[in-house]
Structure formats: C-alpha cells, structure tokens
Amino acid sequence: MLLTFYKYQGTGNDFIMIDNRDKVFPVEDVQLVASLCDRRFGIGADGLILLENDESTDFKMVYFNSDGNQSSMCGNGGRCLVAFAQFLGVISKKASFNAVDGLHTAIIDNDVVDLKMTNVKEIHAKPNSFFLDTGSPHHVQLVEGLDQFNVYKEGAKLRYGLYGEKGSNINFVESLDDSKFSVRTYERGVEDETLSCGTGVTAVAIAMHKANRVEGNTVNIRTKGGDLKVSFNVDTQGYSNVSLIGPAKLVFKGEIEC
C-alpha cells in the first residue's frame, strides 16, 4: 500500500497525520504504526493520528502512541489535527470533533489553535506532587534545576514504580516567575521525554493553580519545543472551560510504501 501522510508539529511534539475518511488505514496493525513512527526506519513521530468521519461533529480523532497502540487524549495532537482539518478543507476557523475522551471544540487563527480540553474535577494531592487526568493521566512534580534534571531516568522510575503497568505521564516543573513555569515531560507510550506534551502542560497549569502558585486563570508554560498557554475557569466543582493555546504547523507531506 502506498500511504500518503502529512507531518505536523505543535511545539516540537510531532505527529504523522493521515486522512482516513475512506477507512483505508489498518487500525489494528500495531506493528505498522510503530514502524511508521520509528525515527530511524520510518517517518519518525511521537504519535500517529487518523482523521475520520464522525456523525455528530466535523471529524473524529483516532490517536496512536509511537509504540503502535491506541491511547488516551493528546492535546498537542488535537491542536495539530485541527490545523490538518483546516488544510483539508474539512473546517474553516472553528472545529468540533470527538476523541477518546469525548467532545472537543477549537478555534484556529494563523496556525495558532485554541483547543478546549476536558473538565477536571478531581486532583489528588500527594506529599510532593499532584495527580490528575486532563484526558490523559498526569503526575506533576516540582523540582529545582530542571535543565540538568534526568527526566528519562526519574520519569521512567515514577511511570512504572509509582503507577504500575498502566502507568502515568510524568511532568517535572520549575517555577520561572508568577504564573509562568518550565516543564519537561516523560510520556508513557513514547517511553521517553518529548519536547512538549499538551495534556501535560494542561495538568501542570491546573496543578500549579491548585497549589496556590498561580494568580488568575491564565498560565504560561515553557517547554523544550516552545511556549504554550493554558486558561480555565475554576469553581467549587473544579476546573472548566479549559483551553490549551499554541502553534500547530505543517512540516511536510510525503508517501511511503507499507
């Protein structure tokens, strides 16, 4: 099969995008997805995303980690998929789509995508960290000297040791100033540090607000791949109207035999 694909990135978090509205992609072929995501023998990406038809929204998002398995929500991937949908002419400037965690809406303006994330009602405070689900499970932990921190070693240790086989994404955070933080993330499924993680950035923003380290409802986050912004409303029920805002860009288009 000659497969047409598009490569997108959102703050360095990169994805293989495939228009699967005709249902031609073999979604059960875990090995194929993993090989396409391989950076040495394939296209190379943190994940693969299918854009499919959906009865009630503009499109459906089907997300695979680079290990080839379908996974939970990916925030940067969702933003890139909105940009891809606009490129294909599926949407203009506004989008609604279904993902594994439910309905999302978005607005795109000159490569900047404002994506509505899932509401967050439960935040579990641990002695030195927080755990919450922003469409994917996330551990959030404050550290010092983040630039020199061994994210791969410490992230893998927590991902398996603290959260078992199912695991969690692990975020290490350092405060830069009021309402601005630097974040590095170990992603499960990728099993390594990624340049950026959208659901992780969202989790960090909410966790830092919960920890009273943020004034106001907007948090600026610096990742190794670029800057993102998270805004939200908060009340006694938790966090709602959560937005993940940042760039999403086409890198290249190609074809590959598979």
Q: Indicate the burial class of 119 (C-beta count within 10 angstroms; 0-12, 13-18, 19 or more).
A: middle
Q: What is the model's pTM?
A: 0.96
CATH topology for 123-243 is: Diaminopimelate Epimerase; Chain A, domain 1 (3.10.310)
Annotated catalytic residue 74 = yes
What is the structure's pLDDT at 127? 85
Mean pLDDT value across the chain: 96
Angle at 153 (CA atoms; ends 246, 69), nearest 5 degrees? 60
What is the structure's pLDDT at 166? 85
pLDDT above 90 (res 178):
no
Annotated catalytic residue 197 = yes
Query: Of these residues, 37, 74, 80, 258, which one is catalytic?
Result: 74
Residue 231 · residue 246 · CB < 8 Å: no
The domain segmentation of the chain, as residue ranges, is 2-116+248-257, 123-243
Q: What is the DSSP letter of 70?
A: B
| Secondary structure class of 169 (helix, strand, coil) | strand
Beta bridge partners, 51, equal 19, 61
Query: Of these residues, 37, 80, 197, 258, which one is catalytic?
Result: 197
Pick the CATH number of 2-116+248-257 from 3.30.70.20, 3.10.310.10, 3.40.50.10490, 3.10.180.10: 3.10.310.10
User: Region 200-224: what's the mean pLDDT?
Assistant: 96
Question: 81-118 pLDDT, tens per residue?
Answer: 999 999 999 999 999 999 999 999 999 999 999 999 99
Do the domains 2-116+248-257 and 123-243 sit in the same CATH topology, yes or no? yes
